[in-house]
Amino acid sequence: MINFLSMNGYGVYVFSAFVFTMVSFLGLYLIVRYQLKKEKQKFAEKFGKLKLDKVSVANKQKINKEILSASIFSKI
């Protein structure tokens, strides 16, 4: 295990490169996921505040229904 981690002295370079890559992936994924969740929540709140007549207009667009159902049931 120690040999694997040290990699003949190159371990610190190899693992820091891999760790930086994985941390960057995780960071970007979390940021984009947060942005998506925030917009879904905003949509659900705005939709909830619409008056009845405007709800029927909004419901005519299929994508609005998709976004609303995703906002309620999504785990993203």
Partner 1 sequence: MNFFNQSKIFSFINKYHNLILVFFLAVLSLGLIEALIISPEDYLQGHSVRIMYVHVPSAWISLGIFSSMAFLSILVFIFKNKNLVIITKSLAPSGFIFTLIALVTGSIWGKPTWGTWWAWDARITTMLILCLFYLMYLLAWRIFENKDSVVKITSLITIIGAFNIPIIKFSVDWWSTLHQPSSIKILSDSKIHESMLVPLIIMTAAFALFSLLIFLMKYNTELIKIKNKGLDRL
Helix (H, G, I), strand (E, B) or coil at 74: coil
CB of 2 to partner 1, least distance (A): 14
Token pair listed for 15: 């693992």
> Does 62 contact partner 1 by CB under 8 A?
yes
> Does 74 contact partner 1 by CB under 8 A?
yes
Candidates 1, 2, 52, 76; binder of partner 1 (CB under 8 A) is 76
Q: Which amino acid, 31?
A: I
Site pattern 16..35 for partner 1 (x: CB under 8 A): xxx-xx--xx--xx--xx-x
